Amino acid sequence: MNIILWIIAGVLAAAFAAAGAMKLTQPKEKLAASGMAWTEDFGTGTVKLIGALEVLAAIGLILPAALGIAPVLVPLAALGLVLVMIGAIVTHSRRKETQVIGVNVVLLLLAAAVVWGRFGPYSFGS
Protein backbone atom coordinates (compact mmCIF):
# COMPACT_ATOMS: atom_id res chain seq x y z
CA MET A 1 0.00 0.00 0.00
CA ASN A 2 2.94 2.32 0.65
CA ILE A 3 3.92 2.12 -3.04
CA ILE A 4 0.34 2.83 -4.12
CA LEU A 5 0.25 5.92 -1.90
CA TRP A 6 3.54 7.11 -3.41
CA ILE A 7 2.13 6.61 -6.92
CA ILE A 8 -1.08 8.48 -6.06
CA ALA A 9 0.94 11.31 -4.51
CA GLY A 10 3.14 11.45 -7.61
CA VAL A 11 0.18 11.60 -9.98
CA LEU A 12 -1.46 14.30 -7.87
CA ALA A 13 1.79 16.24 -7.64
CA ALA A 14 2.27 16.17 -11.41
CA ALA A 15 -1.32 17.20 -12.12
CA PHE A 16 -1.40 20.03 -9.60
CA ALA A 17 2.10 21.28 -10.40
CA ALA A 18 1.09 21.64 -14.05
CA ALA A 19 -2.33 23.16 -13.30
CA GLY A 20 -0.92 25.53 -10.70
CA ALA A 21 1.97 26.64 -12.89
CA MET A 22 -0.49 27.39 -15.69
CA LYS A 23 -2.61 29.52 -13.36
CA LEU A 24 0.50 31.35 -12.14
CA THR A 25 1.99 32.06 -15.55
CA GLN A 26 -1.01 32.66 -17.83
CA PRO A 27 -3.18 35.77 -17.82
CA LYS A 28 -6.70 35.20 -16.52
CA GLU A 29 -8.19 35.98 -19.94
CA LYS A 30 -6.05 33.31 -21.60
CA LEU A 31 -7.07 30.77 -18.96
CA ALA A 32 -10.75 31.58 -19.54
CA ALA A 33 -10.30 31.24 -23.30
CA SER A 34 -8.54 27.88 -22.89
CA GLY A 35 -11.48 26.26 -21.09
CA MET A 36 -11.17 27.58 -17.54
CA ALA A 37 -14.27 29.76 -17.78
CA TRP A 38 -14.60 29.70 -13.99
CA THR A 39 -11.74 32.20 -13.79
CA GLU A 40 -14.19 34.86 -14.98
CA ASP A 41 -15.86 34.67 -11.54
CA PHE A 42 -12.64 35.42 -9.65
CA GLY A 43 -10.12 38.22 -9.50
CA THR A 44 -6.65 37.81 -10.96
CA GLY A 45 -5.12 37.64 -7.48
CA THR A 46 -7.46 34.84 -6.44
CA VAL A 47 -6.63 32.79 -9.55
CA LYS A 48 -2.90 33.29 -8.85
CA LEU A 49 -3.45 32.31 -5.20
CA ILE A 50 -5.19 29.09 -6.25
CA GLY A 51 -2.29 28.35 -8.61
CA ALA A 52 0.26 28.99 -5.86
CA LEU A 53 -1.63 26.71 -3.44
CA GLU A 54 -1.69 23.96 -6.06
CA VAL A 55 2.06 24.25 -6.73
CA LEU A 56 2.86 24.30 -3.00
CA ALA A 57 0.65 21.25 -2.42
CA ALA A 58 2.38 19.43 -5.28
CA ILE A 59 5.74 20.11 -3.66
CA GLY A 60 4.37 19.14 -0.24
CA LEU A 61 3.13 15.78 -1.52
CA ILE A 62 6.63 14.63 -2.48
CA LEU A 63 9.57 16.57 -1.05
CA PRO A 64 9.02 16.27 2.72
CA ALA A 65 8.83 12.48 2.61
CA ALA A 66 11.52 12.11 -0.06
CA LEU A 67 13.95 14.23 1.96
CA GLY A 68 12.83 12.89 5.33
CA ILE A 69 12.23 16.42 6.58
CA ALA A 70 8.85 16.94 8.28
CA PRO A 71 7.00 14.14 6.43
CA VAL A 72 3.82 15.11 8.30
CA LEU A 73 3.52 17.81 5.63
CA VAL A 74 2.54 15.15 3.06
CA PRO A 75 -0.94 14.42 4.45
CA LEU A 76 -1.38 18.11 5.25
CA ALA A 77 -0.67 18.98 1.60
CA ALA A 78 -3.14 16.31 0.52
CA LEU A 79 -5.71 17.72 2.95
CA GLY A 80 -5.17 21.13 1.39
CA LEU A 81 -5.92 19.63 -2.02
CA VAL A 82 -9.11 18.05 -0.66
CA LEU A 83 -10.22 21.54 0.39
CA VAL A 84 -9.24 23.04 -2.99
CA MET A 85 -11.25 20.33 -4.77
CA ILE A 86 -14.28 20.96 -2.56
CA GLY A 87 -14.06 24.60 -3.59
CA ALA A 88 -13.73 23.58 -7.24
CA ILE A 89 -16.79 21.32 -7.01
CA VAL A 90 -18.84 24.11 -5.44
CA THR A 91 -17.67 26.60 -8.08
CA HIS A 92 -18.39 24.28 -11.00
CA SER A 93 -21.77 23.32 -9.51
CA ARG A 94 -22.79 26.95 -9.23
CA ARG A 95 -21.73 27.53 -12.83
CA LYS A 96 -23.55 24.36 -13.97
CA GLU A 97 -20.26 22.98 -15.38
CA THR A 98 -21.14 19.38 -14.61
CA GLN A 99 -18.65 17.91 -17.10
CA VAL A 100 -15.67 18.93 -14.93
CA ILE A 101 -17.09 17.95 -11.56
CA GLY A 102 -16.24 14.30 -12.20
CA VAL A 103 -12.55 15.14 -12.55
CA ASN A 104 -12.71 17.20 -9.34
CA VAL A 105 -14.33 14.29 -7.49
CA VAL A 106 -11.64 11.84 -8.68
CA LEU A 107 -8.85 14.22 -7.62
CA LEU A 108 -10.59 14.76 -4.27
CA LEU A 109 -10.85 11.00 -3.68
CA LEU A 110 -7.19 10.46 -4.58
CA ALA A 111 -6.09 13.24 -2.24
CA ALA A 112 -8.36 11.86 0.49
CA ALA A 113 -6.70 8.44 0.07
CA VAL A 114 -3.31 10.05 0.70
CA VAL A 115 -4.68 11.88 3.76
CA TRP A 116 -6.12 8.64 5.14
CA GLY A 117 -3.03 6.56 4.39
CA ARG A 118 -0.40 9.03 5.56
CA PHE A 119 -2.22 10.11 8.71
CA GLY A 120 -3.32 6.54 9.37
CA PRO A 121 -1.89 3.08 8.90
CA TYR A 122 0.82 4.02 6.40
CA SER A 123 2.20 7.15 8.03
CA PHE A 124 5.89 7.83 7.69
CA GLY A 125 6.37 7.62 11.45
CA SER A 126 5.24 3.98 11.68
pTM to 2 decimal places: 0.94
As a whole number of angstroms, the distance between CA 110 and CA 25 comes to 26
As a whole number of angstroms, the distance between CA 17 and CA 121 comes to 27
Rg (CA), the chain: 15
Q: Which of 83, 80, 29, 39 is nearest to 57 (CA)?
A: 80
* pLDDT, tens digit, 9 for 90 and up, residues 57-103: 999 999 999 999 999 999 999 999 999 999 999 999 999 999 999 99
What percentage of the chain reaches a pLDDT higher than 90? 96
> Cβ distance 50 to 84 under 8 Å?
yes
